[in-house]
Amino acid sequence: MTPALDLSSVSLWRWDPEHQRERHLLRDVDWTVRPGEHWALLGANGAGKTTLMNVAGAVHHPSAGTADVLGSRLGRVDLRELRTRIGLVEARAARAFRQRMTAEQVVLTGATASIALRRDRIGAAERERARGLLARFGCGDKTDRPYDECSQGERQRILLARALMRRPALLLLDEPATGLDLPGREALLAAVATIAAEEPATATVTVTHHVEELPSSTTHALLLRDGAVVAAGPAHETIASGPLSECFGTPVVVDRLGGRWLARAEAAW
C-alpha cells in the first residue's frame, strides 16, 4: 500500500537575517507513515515539530531530500489540490468560521475543503455524514447550536468531525488538546481513538508536548530534537524513559496506565 507519508533525508532551512546565516529547522529526517498507523510527534519547543507538520501537510517543500504525501511528490504536484485530501485539526482554526454558523454547518464546510459553506455543493449524503460524525463524537445534540456557543472541548470535536468529512487518508492533529480542561481533553481523546475502528485506512499524526494528551490508539511515535530524529518506531519502544530523556534533554520517567502514557521529568540537580 502507498504510504500516507514517505520522507527521505528531508532537511529544511531558512535564512536568518539577524545572524546572517541559514538556520536549519529539519535535518535529514526519514519518516514513513503507513495507512492505518497512528503516530505521535513529540519534542520540546523549537524541536521542529511545526516545521515537520508543515511538510506533512503539504504547506512547505523541503530544502533537500524528498517528501511524498499521499503518493504525490512535493515539488511536482499542486499543493492546494493535495491539501484537500488531508484532514487537519488545530485549535486556531476555530477563529476562521463566521459567527452564528452552527455546528453542523462548520462540519459541512469540510465537505468542500473550505471555511465557507458551499450550499450548492452539499447534498443529503453530506448532511447525513456530518450528523453521523457529530453523533459519533458526542455532539449529536449540538447540530443546530451556534458554533461559538459550544465549549472549547466541543469545538475541537466538531473540528475533528469536519476534518473527517472527505474521508482523508491522512489526518493531522496539531496539539488538539491545548487549552482543554480535563473532561474536554478526555472526550476529545476518546473521539480520536474511535478513528482506528471507524476509519481503518486513515493514518493520523498527533503533535503534542505531553504524552498524557496522546490517545490510546497511538501505534508509533517520532521524537525530534533540534530538527533531527532521536527515535522513530512502535510506541512501546519510543514513548519510553530512555528515548524521551534524550529527546527532551533531561531525565524523564514514563509509566503506562490503562493504555495511556504518563511522564514526569526528574530534577536534574
What's the pLDDT score for residue 95? Answer: 65
* 162 and 177 within one domain: no
2 pLDDT exceeds 90?
yes
Please say which residue of 103, 134, 167 terminates a domain. Answer: 167
* 2 and 75 within one domain: yes
* 196 and 76 within one domain: yes
Give a yes or no: residue 99 inside a domain: yes
Give a yes or no: residue 196 inside a domain: yes
Question: What band does 234 get if pLDDT is binned at 50, 70 and 90?
Answer: very high
Mean pLDDT of 197-213: 93
Domain that residue 41 falls in: 1-85+169-241
CA distances to 89, 164, 206, 233 from 223, rounded to whole Å, are: 20, 26, 12, 9
Give residue-wise pLDDT tens across range 60-108.
999 999 999 999 999 999 998 899 899 999 866 656 676 688 999 999 9
Q: What is the CATH number of the domain that holds 202?
A: 3.40.50.300
Give a yes or no: residue 156 inside a domain: yes
268 pLDDT exceeds 60?
no
* 74 and 175 within one domain: yes
Question: What band does 231 get if pLDDT is binned at 50, 70 and 90?
Answer: very high
* 186 and 161 within one domain: no
Lowest mean pLDDT among 50-64, 100-114, 225-239: 100-114
* 104 and 44 within one domain: no
* 110 and 209 within one domain: no
Give a yes or no: residue 25 inside a domain: yes
* 102 and 180 within one domain: no
Please say which residue of 142, 167, 192 terminates a domain. Answer: 167
What's the pLDDT score for residue 99? Answer: 67
16 pLDDT exceeds 80?
no
Question: What band does 248 get if pLDDT is binned at 50, 70 and 90?
Answer: very high
Number of folded domains in the chain?
A: 2
What's the pLDDT score for residue 94? Answer: 59
Give a yes or no: residue 205 inside a domain: yes
